[in-house]
Amino acid sequence: MAGAPLGTASNARQTSRERASLLGALAAGRGWGLVVCVVVGLSIWRAAFVVAGVDPDSDAYGHHTIARQILVDPRDLTVHWVWLPFFHYAQAAAIALGGTLQSVRLFNVVLAAATPLLLYALMRRHRTTDPAQGLDGAPTIAAALAAVSPIAMQMGTTGQTEPLFAALVASTLALLSWARHGLAALALTVAVLLRYEAWAVPPAIAAFLLLARVPWVRARLSPTERASLEGAGARAWLPVVAPLVAIFVWAAIRRGVDGGWFRFLHQTREFATGALGAKSSFALGPAQVLEDLGKYAIKVPWRVVGYPILLVPFGVWRTLRREGLRFFVVFGALLAFVTLTWMLRSSLGLDRHFVVIVPFYAAMIANGIVAVAEGIDHGFRKPTGASVHAFAASGAARAAVIFGLAVAVLGDGWSILRVWMRDWENASLGAWPDRREIAARVRDVDGIVFCDEPTVEILSGLDRHRFDRRQLTHKNAPGWVHDALATGKPVFVATWAVHLKKLGVSGPILARSPGSSGDSGFVLMRVDATR
């Protein structure tokens, strides 16, 4: 089959490039608008969810009561338990200004919206600073997919740390891309005092900086990465040094309380292994090791994303090439960290640990879509040569594949999201019936309430000064209750029935949670002053 004349083919290629550039620019503009519309719509949905029901995540109540306790005694570092301090101090400041757990949840509604927008801006920048690679639909698809992620959506309705953490990691990468090394160091310093997963990021950035010194690697960095390093000098190491200093400062402060360096890490693992009943994957045999290796790389993404996860292998190389080595190394380190801590049983292996990695998988899936389309594009051109018809057919096929796969991927994501949010809504509306009952009865009492169950305290809606939230299983707990009785007024105890048995004080039982008896469920007891 004879091809078109050389001049015609050359003109066809030029026209194809011009159209691609024009359509790419238009798509980028429309893409930003589409992402904003998706993010705003989902934010409204999350806000409505927050207003309609209670937080189904029990840890959110724990964080909030710790923040309330900080206002009672800011010097008590044991109140943080095995958690890092930033989230507690930030909430304490909000509480001092009148904030509540609902305030935290609504703030997380906004933070959950920030991550997809930051992902879009970051991926878009990588394309505008590398004109030779051209524009594509990957930023729009990735941002929309990250926005409809059901696990990110759920966490965006809670008072948990994940939305802030994901936004901080995305902010760090975006700031580094814009060569704002000082601000990136600040964002990452906050992150390492928020969640342990962030501890993997400074070493990952250090590894990137060292690799970037190798001429062969530096020549293959994206233009954005090279530009961010030019003239940076020692400032490029700020996001490594500042977070590590913060980690060691916190460890030094805790050393005086815990009696040793990083003892809180040992406490974290002891809690996790105690709850899970195993020391590590390696103690459970090779089959368990293989299964746990794939937990956060395959199993959780499959549950969260569904069939679109099959596009990840097609997008790995393109993500490395287009989003850059730093993007890949940082998210790879986070994935490795959550996998390793799960295998060592230093974490509970919860699905929500995947939230920070959602943008990584969204980017790989989006790039996988474009990579498949490019393969089909090349397939159309190869047998037909450089004819006008070949360029027209390949361009049409490429656009159709990208559009079709994007619609399929986002449609599947929307279907999964609806199922997850329906279950989440049911969990919220039906959450804590036993604790709600006790919380409602606590509102009717007049006096100090000893309560070591955070959900009861927060669901009661009472002023924080009404509660003594120290652990009632502590050996000194009976003394605390008797000291409170020195005022001559009765005090009240709202706790688990089994805790009440260990407490060793007596009084009339004012309420029991529905269906409880003996040592089960929750109780509210009045303790009268002795004369």
Identify the CA nearest to 198 among candidates 349, 86, 77. Answer: 86
Over its length of 531 residues, how does the chain's per-residue pLDDT go in tens digits?
344 444 444 444 444 444 444 445 445 557 888 999 999 999 999 999 999 989 999 999 999 999 999 999 898 888 998 899 999 999 999 999 999 999 999 999 999 999 999 999 999 988 876 655 556 889 999 999 999 999 999 999 999 999 999 999 999 999 999 999 999 999 999 999 999 999 999 999 999 999 999 999 998 898 889 889 988 889 999 999 999 999 999 999 998 888 888 888 888 877 777 777 777 888 888 898 999 999 999 999 999 999 999 999 999 999 999 999 999 999 999 999 999 999 988 888 899 999 999 999 999 999 999 999 888 777 666 655 555 555 566 667 777 788 888 888 999 999 999 999 999 999 888 888 888 999 999 999 988 999 999 999 999 999 999 999 888 888 899 999 988 888 888 999 999 888 888 888 888 999 888 877 777 788 999 998 775
DSSP sequence for 423-445: HHHHHHHTS-HHHHHHHHHHTT-
Domain regions of the chain by residue span: 36-429, 433-527
Q: Give the span between the Cα atoms of 315 and 59, in whole angstroms.
A: 35
How far is 528 from 445, CA to CA, in rounded Å? 13
The conformational region for residue 494 under phi > 0 = left, psi -120 to 50 = alpha, else beta, is beta
H or E segment to which residue 163 belongs: helix 162-177
Name the strand (E) or helix (H) holding 276: helix 263-276
Q: What is the DSSP letter of 271?
A: H
Closest of 527, 458, 517 to residue 486, by C-alpha:
527
Q: Catalogue the E-assigned strands of 414-514.
A: 449-451, 467-468, 491-496, 509-512
* Pairing, β 509-512 against β 522-527: antiparallel
Contacts of 71 (CB under 8 A, 6+ apart): 92, 95, 96, 464
- Report the DSSP beta bridge partners of residue 522: 496
